[in-house]
């Protein structure tokens, strides 16, 4: 079938703008850090104490919105991330995080994207317990649920099991894990990421701190983190990612930048609400 010039334009534009929205979410995904918690050793004669929720700089109800641009040309999409709640999840306490991506006009006239991603993250270890994606792109839809296990769990034996190594994150929850990480004490971290289809290895390193950053949401002093992405033991070529976290109590992500083969992506914070103070699991 021969494509008309308009169809070619639509196809190329759709690919680029879809790549922009996807890359912006991927950038959030790559913004990850490992807490480096050590396994505690206890005598068999002593009762193991109940684990405590991890200290985190966010609270239920927090909502952040970003505007994603491609090649500094036009805002192609909005990305909203939220801490929905902290709840029981198959007998364990977990955070429910959510990210929603929507293309906006004029890009939406070329390619409509309304995607939602949910993460259920263990409140004690900040490891992913389940990742879900609900893709709505043009007339197509695809739902994926990815339960993750580091060891078999009897209560979830009826599910298809994705066995992962300890510390594995998903493309949404890892942003919050990074915010909980103290880059002042540990400037470089390594983390595996799984999205249900592919594994990535992320090396995150503090590049600078005390840097002024101006975005639509205001002026901030931020720590800039450089992220290196690998897959199958090989660094992904022509991909560079940076995340700027405000040096405030919430360690708010204010700017995400990426360079990829299809162009540059800039996702800047536009609005924020419902932020809380750092607490031990917000008890």
Write out pLDDT tens, residues 11-66.
Answer: 444 444 444 444 445 444 433 322 233 333 333 445 666 678 999 999 999 999 99
Q: Let me know if residue 263 belongs to a domain.
A: yes
Q: Let me know if residue 47 belongs to a domain.
A: no
Q: Let me know if residue 109 belongs to a domain.
A: yes
CA distance 58 to 277: 7
Total domains in the fold of the chain:
1
For the chain, which ranges sit under pLDDT 70? 1-50, 155, 157-159, 276-283
CA distance 232 to 255: 28
Q: Let me know if residue 275 belongs to a domain.
A: yes
Number of alpha helices (DSSP H) and beta strands (DSSP E) in the chain: 3, 16
Q: Tell me, what CATH number does 175's domain have? A: 2.40.360
CA distance 115 to 64: 16
The pLDDT of residue 33 is 29
Q: Let me know if residue 237 belongs to a domain.
A: yes
Range of the domain at 203: 13-32+58-280
Count of CB atoms situated within 10 Å of the CB of 59 = 17
The pLDDT of residue 73 is 72
| Three-class secondary structure of residue 110 per DSSP | helix
Q: Let me know if residue 21 belongs to a domain.
A: yes
């Amino acid at each position: 079938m021969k494509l008309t010039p308009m169809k070619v334009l639509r196809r190329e534009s759709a690919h680029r703008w879809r790549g922009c929205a996807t890359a912006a979410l991927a950038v959030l995904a790559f913004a990850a850090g490992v807490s480096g918690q050590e396994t505690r050793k206890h005598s068999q004669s002593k009762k193991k104490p109940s684990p405590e929720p991890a200290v985190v700089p966010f609270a239920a109800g927090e909502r952040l919105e970003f505007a994603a641009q491609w090649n500094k040309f036009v805002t192609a999409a909005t990305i909203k991330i939220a801490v929905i709640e902290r709840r029981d999840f198959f007998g364990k306490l977990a955070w429910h995080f959510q990210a929603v991506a929507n293309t906006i006009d004029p890009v939406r006239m070329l390619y409509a994207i309304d995607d939602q991603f949910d993460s259920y993250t263990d409140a004690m270890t900040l490891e992913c317990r389940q990742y879900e994606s609900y893709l709505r792109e043009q007339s197509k839809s695809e739902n994926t649920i990815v339960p993750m296990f580091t060891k078999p769990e009897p209560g979830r034996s009826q599910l298809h099991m994705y066995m992962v190594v300890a510390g594995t994150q998903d493309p949404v929850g890892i942003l919050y894990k990074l915010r909980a990480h103290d880059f002042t004490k540990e400037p470089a971290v390594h983390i595996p990421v799984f999205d249900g289809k592919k594994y990535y290895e992320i090396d995150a390193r503090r590049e600078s701190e005390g840097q002024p950053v101006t975005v639509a949401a205001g002026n901030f002093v931020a720590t800039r983190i450089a992220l290196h992405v690998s897959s199958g033991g090989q660094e992904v070529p022509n991909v560079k990612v940076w995340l700027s976290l405000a040096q405030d109590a919430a360690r708010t992500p204010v700017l995400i930048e990426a360079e990829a083969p299809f162009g540059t992506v800039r996702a800047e914070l536009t609005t924020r609400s419902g932020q809380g103070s750092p607490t031990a699991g917000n008890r």
